[in-house]
Amino acid sequence: MSESEAKAEVKVEVNGTNGFAMPPFGVPKFAVPGVLGEFSEQGFARAREGCEKIKAASEDMAEALRESYSGNARSATDYGLKVIEISNFNAASTIDFFVQLLGTKSAADVVTLSAEQARKTFDTASAQGKDLWDLTQKLATATGEPLKKHIAKVLHQRN
What are the residue boundaries of the structural domains of the chain, listed by start?
68-158
Q: Kindly provide the residue ranges of all beta strands, DSSP E only, lying in 23-149, ordered along the sequence.
A: none
Residue-wise pLDDT for 39-83, tens only, equals 677 778 888 888 888 888 788 888 888 888 888 888 889 999 999
pTM of the model: 0.57
The residues pairing with 13 across neighbouring beta strands, listed in sequence order, are: 18
Closest CA to 63 of 157, 49, 55: 55
Distances (CA, A) of 89 to 83, 94, 101: 10, 9, 18
Distance of CA 127 to the CA centre of its chain: 32
The Cα–Cα gap between 152 and 100 comes to 58
Cα distance from N-terminal residue to C-terminal residue, the chain? 54
Question: Residues 115-147: pLDDT tens digits?
Answer: 999 999 999 999 999 999 999 998 888 778 877
Q: Which pLDDT value is given to residue 24?
A: 54
- Residue 22: its pLDDT value, please? 53
- Average pLDDT in the 24-38 region? 56
